[in-house]
Chain A
Amino acid sequence: MNGRAKPLFDSLQAAWLLLVLVLLYIPMISVALASLSNTRYMLFPHRTWTTDAYADALAGYTTGALHLTSLRIALLVVVISVVLASFGALAFARFDWRGRRAFQRFLVLPLFFPQPVLGLALLVYFTALGITPSWQTAAFAHLVWIVPVVTLVISIRLYNYDVLQEDAAFDLGATRLQVLREVTLPALAPGIVSGALFAFLLSWSNLPLSVFTSGADTTLPEWLYSRTATNYSPMVPAIAVIATAVSAMVVIAAALGLSLARGRDGAGTTS
């Protein structure tokens, strides 16, 4: 082994990783710092450090309305994408069939597509169909991008799934529905939970699709986007922090729920 230069090289590599992390988190730290002021102009370091902006944000009507719009879209996206993607993942990873390769390639195409261009194309499509853009059309646009992501997430779990379990169940006389309910779905469950989490977070934070397809409804990222240019006040970074905290809480709640469910499952199988 090339042992001589290693300690120095190792610490260089560690320092590089630290630098990358610091650089990656600068914007988030900046937003948090900016929110702790009470002046309409950004003048850092602040004369007075205060959490007034958060009180204003929480008291304001806009904050709730924005969160509600984003939440509606995200929940709709989660439900529909998980249902579609669970089937899609079975076709992607579980079953062997002619045309599977072509399907796999077709499925990833929306991921390799510029999102704002997709948003604009969908806007034209909705208008041509006579549909007025609203939060529902924004959810549809999110789905075009998120269904492939969730399908991939669930598929990755499915690759480790032992097909023989199903055959065994069939041989023991189980019906198709029973096998789906008792064997396939429990195996899919962890993938479905991570898929739902991905769907929620990606929808919650999406800007490029919402901007063109949500019509008169405004999501959180859209509002922040429009406020970065005009009408700045410390409430803007404060709402950005609140919105990010909400998504973090969803992740934590899901992780807790999952570990609780796992604990119960583990107890169930051992007894």
Chain B
Amino acid sequence: MRRPNPGILTMLPVLVFLLAGFVIPILVVALYSLMPPRTFDLAGSPTFTNYATAFADGYWRPLMWSALGAAATTLICLVLAWPTARALDRFAGRWATLVTLLIALPIFISESVRLFGLALFMMPGGGILAGSIDALFGVSIGTILYTRLAALLGLVYIHFPFVLFPLLLGVSLVPKDQVAAARDLGASGWQVFREIEAPLAAPGAAVGALLCFVLSLGANAEMNILGGQAVTVITNAIEQRFNYAQDWPLGAALTVLTVLLTAAVVFPVLRRIDVDSLARR
């Protein structure tokens, strides 16, 4: 080599930034989680009291609700995204490009606008849906707004594109002639799915599912706008500790537990996926 390796030089700015903005903040929070309860500096002697309190005071509950919500969201999104990805792939090149674009656009519209719109739609009495049905048919309907179901609906709504697009990438890799050949040889639809489509689309599905799970794990706007505080999710629990209870170490301990749960899900999947080849497509 006639020049020093430029790879290391060019990655330095991003590396330094992510160390300062991502790694160190998480380490600082981890340090706080070891401080004595209700202290605000990092000078105390390390203790695991906050973790003990987190479990004793039932804080596993919001974490469990968040994890359950995230798992349900991921599952529902996968089930909805699969036929959508198949259909988009089927019509690829025709108006599917426009449809794909139209599905992607809402990602860039603020979550607060979209969740607000869902709430307006579901509102009882004079809501968009209830009001229209009342005006058209004279029937007044109830609402699921401010229930867990509404929050789950919001979670699915917001995270659907994050599952769809990686999955679409996976589905587009399934060779059409291979499916046709299997069909000609008498394979059933289920067999084609299990033996050919699912394994080939798996990396895309894994990335989508992972994104969806992690993003919905921390989600709280859905609960606050649509769920009407029917459940306390982990982000709300952490926020309450930090802001209202002024107990930073306990809030930090809850944050660390959430980060550990995230890492336990992300690392095994991410290790098996080749980021390089996925980005290359």
Contacts and interface: CB of A to CB of B under 8 A. Distances in A.
B6 A117 contact: no
B225 interface: yes
Contacts of B78: none
Interface stretch (B21-29, B49-57, B196-204): B21-29
A225 B225 contact: yes
Contact of A115 (B116, B132, B218): B218
B6 to A, nearest CB: 5
A208 B17 contact: no
B274 to A, nearest CB: 8
Contacts of A113: 22, 214, 218, 259, 262
A112 B14 contact: no
A205 B114 CA distance: 11
Given A14-B87, A91-B10, A112 B214 contact: yes
B275 A104 contact: yes
Interface string A1-43: 1100000001001101100110111111111011000000111
B125 interface: yes
B258 interface: yes
A159 B251 CA distance: 43
Contacts of A20: 80, 84, 103
Contact of B11 (A91, A96, A202, A224): A91
B218 A117 contact: yes
Given A44-B132, A220-B110, A224-B113, A13 B21 contact: no
A61 interface: no
Contacts of B184: 1-2
B150 interface: no
A84 B113 contact: no
Interface of A is mostly: helix
A188 B28 CA distance: 36
B238 interface: yes
- Interface size class of chain A, counting residues whose CB lies under 8 Å from the partner chain: 35 or more
A124 B29 contact: yes
Contacts, number: 290
Nearest to A87: B10
Interface stretch (A52-60, A144-152, A259-267): A144-152
Interface residues of B, number: 91
Nearest to A206: B110
B74 interface: no
A243 to B, nearest CB: 7
A144 B27 CA distance: 15
Given A31-B120, A120-B235, A125 B131 contact: no
B126 interface: yes
B153 to A, nearest CB: 10
B18 A144 contact: yes
B26 A44 contact: no
A91 B14 contact: yes
Contacts of A143: 17, 21
A164 interface: no
Contacts of A44: 126-128, 130-132
Given A116-B239, A120-B239, 20 more contacts: A20-B103, A27-B157, A28-B109, A28-B114, A43-B131, A44-B128, A95-B5, A101-B275, A108-B270, A112-B262, A114-B214, A116-B235, A120-B255, A122-B25, A140-B21, A204-B108, A212-B239, A228-B112, A244-B110, A251-B108
Interface of A: 1-2, 10, 13-14, 16-17, 20-21, 23-31, 33-34, 41-45, 83-85, 87-88, 90-97, 99-101, 103-118, 120-125, 128, 140-141, 143-144, 147-148, 151-152, 155-156, 159, 176, 201-202, 204-208, 212, 220-222, 224-225, 228-229, 236-237, 240, 243-244, 247, 251
